[in-house]
A and B are shown apart, each in its own frame.
Chain A
Amino acid sequence: MCDERERLIEFIYGESSLADRRRVEAHLSDCHVCRTEVTGLRSVRDDVLAWDVPKHDPIWRPVVPTVAVPAWRRAPAWGLAAAAVVLFAAGAAGGMATRMWVPAPGVPAAPAAMAATTTARPVPAGVTAEDLAHLEASILERVRDEMEGRLQAVSVVSSEPASPLVPVGTGARSRGSVEHLEARLLAIEQLIDDQIALNNYFNGQFGRLNSTTSNLREAVEMSSLQRISLDGGR
């Protein structure tokens, strides 16, 4: 019996058969070694239960029905931006054409030459490639100004200096401009990725620092409690 550890373990955890349990009990009444062993194992089982687990907020967020995402939402941001520029240009051009070609009832027809909102430059009736280029240049100019501001914020964390933003020439073809914009948006995405990586790095470092501080605080508090305990509350 002294060599049958399995039977002792089954006995301690109450998983032995009735016959085995009686056999072990009979053995324990005669064997001091096994009795000590069983007492020791039961004691360590009590000690093990002292190991607490910290309380925590719920970790898992409840599952909610998945909403189908339209295909256009799955497109990359730069693609959406480029598509938005093209659509805006086309829409604006269509709007200008309508205003020029279809007079409103009771309103005299628009003059053949009217001022473009962006350049205040007279344009001939009808929309030419040049008009589109002007409109596009105006939009890109605004996008560029905004992006330049953002780039200055993130370029410091990039391993490479931010690529300078080249102004779009007023005579650039729309396709070339879109490609140029795509390239710039890709560069911006890269910079944002760098920023995220840096943030993660800082978060990790901060977490470690926080953990170390907590451990130190625990040690100090523990020491204080021990002192109180040793002094007997004096």
Chain B
Amino acid sequence: MTRTDEELVAGAQAGDLDCFNQLVSRWERPIYALAYRTLGRDEEARDVVQEAFMRAYRGLRAFKGEAKFSSWLYRITLNLCRDWIRRERRAPLVSVPEGVDPIDLADSQATQAESVEDLVARREMSKAVAKAMAELPEEQRSTILLKEYHGLTFQEIADMLDCPLSTVKTRLYQGLSVLRRRLERQQTEEAALRRATWESSS
């Protein structure tokens, strides 16, 4: 039977290392996804994951369970990402991880029935979203990430980011509106480029 996070946290707090390892294997992927989408860099995201779990391990005894374990982890991760961005004074970017062939990456994520056209379209959209997200203010980006990819409620996001509920909704609205405009613009530009390429080649 699968044990809940609360049960595993209680076990880990009592000194059962296996409980902590189970929590890690359960949450490593979402934590990496949050770090990767926030920083846009694979290697730095991996460092953040390591550090986040290290901090969680050290701080486990102090964790009172007032928030969900996952929310606590997300908060640690976002703080680490924020520290990294400030320390490095670098904007998020999107990169292909070292040693990973982007084609293999796309192929591994493609479904059997996906045509070349669909694959191209999906990859273009993925890159476009990553680029547009990287240009958003940090607060809007974090809010969209937590909502869209991690399914947190408005209240959970407000608690995590220490801001009023209405601020979360406003950031989400503004962020999505900006994304929408940018994606539409990019799609228009790419369509024009594709048309020009086709015309010059035919």
Contacts and interface: CB of A to CB of B under 8 A. Distances in A.
B66 interface: no
Given A5-B170, A51-B129, A218-B96, A60 B179 contact: no
B111 interface: no
Contact of B53 (A52, A56, A60): A60
B129 A214 contact: no
B153 A225 contact: no
Contacts of B197: 226, 230
A173 B136 CA distance: 70
Contact of A59 (B50, B103, B148): B50
A138 to B, nearest CB: 48
A15 B98 CA distance: 40
B8 interface: no
Nearest to A46: B125
Contact of A230 (B20, B133, B194): B194
Interface in B127-160: 128-130, 133, 144, 147-148, 153-154
B17 A65 contact: yes
B162 interface: no
Contact of B170 (A6, A48, A228, A233): A6
A216 to B, nearest CB: 10
A193 interface: no
B32 to A, nearest CB: 6
Q: Is the interface of B mostly helix, strand, loop or mixed?
A: helix
A5 B102 contact: no
Given A47-B125, A47-B183, A215-B96, A41 B116 contact: no
B103 A221 contact: yes
A50 B126 contact: yes
A224 to B, nearest CB: 9
A97 B7 CA distance: 66
A53 interface: yes
B74 interface: no
B102 A214 contact: yes
Nearest to A51: B129
A54 B36 contact: yes
Contact of B173 (A5, A222, A228): A5
Interface of A: 5-6, 8-10, 13, 15, 40-41, 43-45, 47-56, 58-60, 62-65, 207, 210-211, 214-215, 217-218, 221-222, 225-230, 233
Interface of B: 17, 20-21, 24-25, 28, 32-33, 36-37, 42-43, 46, 49-50, 53, 57, 95-103, 105, 108-109, 116-117, 119-120, 122-123, 125-126, 128-130, 133, 144, 147-148, 153-154, 166, 169-170, 172-173, 176-177, 179-180, 183, 194, 197-198, 201
Given A13-B147, A215-B96, 4 more contacts: A10-B169, A44-B183, A51-B126, A210-B99
